[in-house]
Structure 1
Amino acid sequence: MCQSCNDTFQTLTRDGESRRNFLRSGAALAAAPLAASVATQAAAQEAGASLEASEVQAWAAFDTDGSFAPHTIPRRAAGPKDVVVEIMYSSICHSDIHTYKGDWGMPQFPLVPGHEMVGRVVGIGAEVTKFREGDIAGVGTMVDSCGTCANCLADREQNCLNGTTFTYNSEDKISGGVTYGGYSKKIVVKEDFALRIPPGVDLAGFAPLLCAGITTFSPINHWDLQPGQRYGVIGMGGLGHLAVKLAAAKGAEVVVFTTSEDKIADAKAFGAAEAYLWSDEAAMRSQMGSFDLMLSTVPVAYPMQQFLNLLKLDKTLVNVGALFPIEGAHGMMMGFGRQSLAGSMTGGIAETQRVIDFAAHHGVAATYEMITPEQIGEACEKVVNKQARYRYVIDMTQA
């Protein structure tokens, strides 16, 4: 039979259906269970593969000059309580820069920084209950702690008495060696140290909440900032701009003190009621004794008494920025005003989840500029030179 006859001549079934199509559909139905079985097996193999140990593309600093370059790092096999997160966005924190520059002690090179990351869960251990594959998760400043000491039991894993495992440049107590951070394509982490990211938020804008957000939110909680109270934010960079947004969402009367004139308008756009330059002596005098709480986000040491003077009696200035010896706090003046100078850093997992949920509820996210991994070194220098507006977020999907 010629091809044209074969195309036009068809034997019909009793119901008038083309016999050829009927046979084809029957074959398809017969093959369906087999196809489903093959698909299930393929999915299982793929899921299993996502839990295996792997070599992962990362970007590492190789010296204190911040010479970043592609580098391959190992990620451990996922255990029964681990989640595997494919990192989508990772932001640059000033802590990353302090670390590779050796400001807090010489790091172990190659160093893969990054403790503000958001990504998609692509694998879960058999005992994981907090996440499903496809969920969005965040990883912040730490990835492990003992879980049994007094501080861990008080939801302060960052102060673990037996040693917190920080997200990078920390002793890796599971795999050995050191931990590697979020300037990479994937991370494997215990589900207890992964944060749930609500649907519908700006994922890149939420990455900075994993460090900058919780670092500035924790003092609001601990010192119980109330709506209507005057809250001073000193310095408005990556930390400070989130301090403004979060406190304004809390209902506080926020006042910003900055050395950058072009940030005054930004401060008010972020929710500040007032904003002043440090160099404005008349403005500084007008604020004397008027604040219920102040937060210093400046990443270097500076004379602090000028701001302690602005506190009301018995109030507190909390330093979260300068992790160096404090300068210029005068004992007699502090005593006269019975002022407190306190320190704070990051927060526990429960409190970090709280700031994520608070930010989602109030529509708060970081203001950021998206970069590619190849721009990390340049972006770090801009952070040092106070050129960032206000967080650099690395698009790891472009890696």
Structure 2
Amino acid sequence: MHSIVSHTTNSLGLPGAPEDHRVVVAMSGGVDSSVVAGLLAREGFEVVGMTLQLYDHGAAVGRKGACCAGSDIHDARLVAERLAIPHYVLDYESRFHEDVIEAFADAYVRGETPVPCIACNQTVKFTDLMAASRTLGASALATGHYVSSRVVDGRRHLFRPHDERRDQSYFLFATTPEQLDYVRFPLGDMPKERVRELAAEMGLVVADKADSQDICFVPDGRYDRMVAAMRPEATREGDIRHIDGRILGRHKGVIRYTVGQRRGLNIALGEPLFVVRIDAERNEVIVGPREALKTRRVKLRDTNWLGRPLAEGESRTVFARVRSTRPPKPGRVRRSTDGLEVDLLDGEEGVAPGQACVLYATDGPGAEVLGGGFIQKSAVAPPATLAVA
């Protein structure tokens, strides 16, 4: 029975003392989630470790940088034994294959550049795993993600972490307000170096384990081979067309190209060419000079908003991030009748449909995550223009 005391005396902001609460920790087998489990157990919470088995692709089982495969499950089990906490493995392979891997392949067929880590968080991790945690009567689900959350004006908000080098807020923008109320991120204010020190102090076998890498379910890093095997129709050859209409050559399937790509075009035109757009319906790859990559406005679909409510037609200044590896840049967001439109004040290169555009209230560590969406369309027009090509 949970305490009804209103004040909190624990790091997760739950009512009462740690001993009053059962907490599920999503244990991936890596050092971050392992340290979360250790810290919460040390604090006095009743910790239950849960590991998801999401795929088992032969070489991926023992591949350095993989996650949620055979060797990682083994490591999570060893950590749980060391910490003397119960540990469960949930087989979500079919769910992961349908909602993440199949969707990943379909996105490339449409000429998009998907972000599978976001899809995984949206479906398996923060939907199915949360439901399993509630079934166990847990007061919260804790993860090893490098973000933080805290209550402001009566509700929990999401923020960038202390360590910008480990910032994972881009992959968590789709976390709903209801999920934020239940999920906790204990590592948000901690540098990675300290996390590894704690793992060593706890005697965890994963203290020096390498971090997982994207894309976790592609064993050899060649996503195009995997998509070609799943969607062979997307390997049909087609035209490579210049933005001025000239046909310059042939491509080997739209799934092998992404916006901003330069290598592999095999076209000698006397000037550098880049993939500007992929027209999957016409089975064409559109190329042009570097300046053609400059994007000034994006229209977003499947949006999630976490900040102060934004009324239709209202706009506000933001910092926008169009790729996980790029810093947020100044912009302005406006809510339209069917989503969000974002003006990128300095412009961005290589912006592709299917990627996420994540919006922040300010710049730098600790910035509030306002929300975001997936890029549906983009335009090179200046910010004063309203049309989105």
Question: What TM-score results when the alignment is normalised by the length of structure 2?
Answer: 0.25
Question: What TM-score results when the alignment is normalised by the length of structure 1?
Answer: 0.25
Larger Rg: 1
| Structure with a larger share of its residues in helix | 1
